[in-house]
Amino acid sequence: MIIGIALFSAVAGLFIKQYKPELALFVSLAAGAVILIALVIFVGKIKDELKQIFEEIGANTAIFSSVFKAMGICYLAKFATDVCKDFGQNSLAGKIELTGKICVALVTLPLVREILKVALELIG
């Protein structure tokens, strides 16, 4: 389905680009959004499955959730950056990248805090 949407939007974009180039970008943007939503659904299923496995082996699911969130943020930031670059907004793309990095730092902050706590305990 995703491949179908991508191919259709590519062909449609090419046609529209000949007559209305400013609309072609919106077509690719809409197709990208639909693909992303479909991916989020698939990734959600994978996440639930992996979480269940983690719970079964008695591992810390908080770590897994944080890393998975970081992955999600990376993908979203990359998608947004690419779209901005398509529109020729390189400066905005850079800002999105920076926001993504800060968000990843925020998501991993509890883990970093835990690591530093352990390190301090070990030294003390």
Q: Which residues bind other proteins (CB under 8 A)?
A: 50, 53-54, 57-60, 63-64, 66-68, 70-71, 74, 78, 100-101, 104, 107-108, 111-112, 114-116, 118-123
- Smallest distance from the beta carbon of 29 to other proteins, in angstroms? 20
DSSP string, 18-57: HH-HHHHHHHHHHHHHHHHHHHHHHHHHHHHHHHHHHHHH
Report in angstroms how near the CB of residue 6 gets to other proteins at its nearest.
15
In the bound state with other proteins, the residue whose beta carbon lies nearer, of 14 and 53, is 53
User: Of 65 and 89, which has the nearer Cβ to other proteins?
Assistant: 65
Backbone torsion region of residue 58, taken as left when φ is above 0, otherwise alpha when ψ lies between -120 and 50, otherwise beta:
left
* Nearest CB to other proteins, comparing residues 6 and 54: 54
CB of 91 to other proteins, least distance (A): 19
Kindly state the smallest distance separating residue 79's Cβ from other proteins, in Å: 11
Residue 17 has which token pair?
């680009």
Please give the structure tokens belonging to residue 14.
Answer: 């090419």
* CB hemisphere CA count around 22 (13 angstroms): 0
